[in-house]
Chains A and B, each alone.
Chain A
């Protein structure tokens, strides 16, 4: 089933014929998948062609509660703080890896990358800091040219950074800031 969506999904959702029943059922399926992964309304509105009212109804039906209100955080800072940056970089690397390896539709790419990220986080027994909505936001920031990936000059891994990092950029894992890794919360990343 996932295979069919992957192969037919090269067109962007906005451009798809709005009146088609088949298309609408595809849109509902897609919205349901996103809601199941914890997406907020802003994600649903951007990634499907369904109306706001229908999305609200669908959300209540699936999640059993009203969607959280309010704006999404608009700052790129969150993705650049130590622990958050590690999570963001892991997700974005998986996202780029899948995007290069396969020709996927944007929602498929996002959901598959997020699932693989969650798997790795679970195996490492760490708290999944990056929510699905945050992951979507990160991709939007990268698409808009507000964040990018830079190679660490030490370990050669790719990390989420601002656009114009200097050439000798060193990642937060090779050179942790003084107060990093001291969190006492369970599931937080730590340093010795």
Chain B
């Protein structure tokens, strides 16, 4: 990928993210808060953006959404890799990861 392609790909990803986020928030804000890991204030802000604002914000050299899995345990459970204990099959690990991720209330405060 050359320089221009990289920027175009980032803009594309940002655009997709922002448009999906807006759709989710307008459909059901509470569900969107959970799915996106954003607080209500941020959700209101995103939903209020006009298409031209969305276009403008998307055009930058960095991504607007960041990685939500920031600890090695959850990462290990999701990839079924390096799980520290004897614990489980894929479904059990997925649920464990879900429990851990839903425990992070600080995301939405």
Contact = CB atoms under 8 A, between A and B. Distances in A.
Contacts of B90: 124
Contacts of B100: 155-157
B92 A101 contact: no
Given A90-B95, A125-B91, A116 B29 contact: no
Contacts of B29: 3, 6, 102
Nearest 7 CB-CB pairs, A to B? A101-B108, A93-B102, A158-B103, A101-B33, A157-B100, A124-B94, A191-B88
Interface size bracket, B side: 20 to 34
8 contacts: A2-B28, A6-B30, A109-B30, A115-B31, A156-B100, A173-B96, A174-B85, A192-B87
A75 B99 CA distance: 23
Interface string A100-123: 111110001100100110001101
Contacts of B86: 176, 191-192
A2 B29 CA distance: 9
Contact of A94 (B85, B87, B102): B102
Given A124-B91, A173-B96, A189-B92, A102 B85 contact: no
Contacts of A59: none
B85 to A, nearest CB: 6
